[in-house]
Homo-oligomer: A and B are copies of this chain.
């Protein structure tokens, strides 16, 4: 990657992050609307933070098929709302019991547990509300497919299922295969949904969707490997969330299973496989390529 391409990528990222923030702001109910405390908590959970990795992936995939950015905004918001709700619930005392997220007190600390739970619940509903906007795309049947895809990625055979396996794995010795199963669901399912929904916004055909699914699966694992490496290497201030938590909680990670060097090698391998999956799309897939590089670059 040349310096100018890299500069261009960084400007693109900032542009997508800014438009995602605006789009999220618009789809979240205003604070003054009843019930105000709930709406306040929902906005607190979603706005003003986050790397917006999933919206970036959705827009990058939409670019491959010349999707209208306004349409991708809705799909990207839906995925980000699901992600945000999962963080709120994940931080609750009965789950990870965390007090810090994106450099701010977690929702149940800033508000209370009941409000945090309801805010998470309502954010999930809002995600489906946003992606079910009538006329979002011309083809109603395709829009139904998109909603089904998001529902599957969020549920017991997707993100929520991955969290259940994660909880169950604490303090246990698990194999690399089981760790992959967990992450394919916990993180991977929603990353895959982001990529595929972005592509759907540009009317991608099934063959193209399949190739993008391969890309997304690699990027999903890559993202988790990198997260595990960061949890080991970075400090709390840099992360904006409690560092070293996985080890403290005796959670199996790629680092605990493979060691740091091997985990980094796996990250590089995943990145290369991600690039390979995009071979047919040429320069249209530039942003998807750059995102794979960017995710792995965070660790080195």
Contact = CB atoms under 8 A, between A and B. Distances in A.
Given A35-B165, A145-B134, A156-B29, A124 B122 contact: no
A242 interface: no
Contacts of A39: 156
B113 A132 contact: no
Interface centre among A92, A94, A158 (most CB of B within 10 A): A94
Interface stretch (A3-11, A55-63, A135-143, A194-202): A135-143
A164 B134 contact: no
Interface in A135-180: 135-136, 139-145, 147-148, 150-152, 154-158, 160-161, 163-165, 167-168
Interface in A255-284: none
Query: Chain A at the B interface: mostly helix, strand, loop or mixed?
Result: helix
Contact of A34 (B112, B115, B158, B161): B161
A126 interface: yes
A118 B35 contact: no
Interface of A: 29, 33-35, 37-39, 42, 85-86, 89, 92, 94-95, 112-115, 117-118, 120-122, 124-126, 128-129, 132-136, 139-145, 147-148, 150-152, 154-158, 160-161, 163-165, 167-168, 181
21 contacts: A34-B161, A34-B181, A35-B156, A35-B164, A37-B168, A86-B121, A89-B121, A115-B164, A115-B167, A122-B156, A125-B151, A125-B155, A125-B160, A126-B151, A128-B128, A129-B148, A132-B145, A134-B144, A140-B140, A144-B147, A147-B147
